[in-house]
Chains A and B, each alone.
Chain A
């Protein structure tokens, strides 16, 4: 049981490049989400999903796309990277409504992205 797996752990991009951060969970959780963490600003919600085929925007969605074709996978796409997207990105999952600990998050190890 690996929990939440994120790849890559580190990535350096040039401004304007695109890339995808991968996230997979093996706990059969309904909910998945992406957060970014910047110094002094805690964790801010980018996008989230409450089930396969359903996604929605969080607090800071601009410049990012997501999709949820399966329960297990929730990739985050940066369409045209900007220096302001330099951050640490965390994918997380939670059981979902109706389950014990419905919104208790299990986080991946994080992906550190630098945009030059």
Chain B
């Protein structure tokens, strides 16, 4: 079945350092979404990418969708303690009514 993989699983950074998480799908995706989950919280939608090669920015966060629409990345410039949490990518399932299949997530920890 469809698989969505994320690396790394964990990342410790010093505040001010950059951070990148990578997402790879076993199948081509019509779109990819990114969510953030703060410790003890629930996932919250960040962004959706639809077009091949698309790049979107939200302040210090840069999201990319690969040319083949099978991979994506999230890059955070100059991390802050408020960036702490787990970042998930997700793509439409090809066998569950367009519901989302999630990657395993990357847990970001920021040392002040």
Asked whether A107 and B44 contact (CB < 8 A) given A41-B104, A45-B101, the answer is yes
The number of residues on chain A lying at the interface, defined by a beta carbon within 8 Å of a beta carbon of chain B, is 26
Contacts of A40 in B (CB 8 A): 9, 104
The reply to whether A59 and B96 contact each other, CB–CB distance below 8 Å, is yes
B95 to chain A: closest CB distance in Å? 9
The reply on A102 being an interface residue by CB < 8 A is yes
The reply to whether B48 and A104 contact each other, CB–CB distance below 8 Å, is yes
3 tightest A-B CB contacts, nearest first:
A42-B104, A43-B102, A107-B42
Interface residues of B (CB under 8 A from A): 1, 6, 9, 31, 33, 35, 41-45, 48, 88, 90, 92-93, 96-105
Q: Known A-B contacts: A45-B93, A56-B97. Give 7 more (CB < 8 A).
A: A31-B99, A41-B104, A45-B101, A48-B97, A101-B48, A103-B33, A108-B42
Interface residues of A (CB under 8 A from B): 31, 33, 35, 40-45, 48, 50, 56, 58-59, 90, 97, 101-110
In the assembled complex, 7 residue pairs joining A and B whose CB atoms fall closer than 8 Å, in A order, are A45-B100, A48-B97, A102-B98, A103-B98, A104-B48, A105-B35, A106-B45
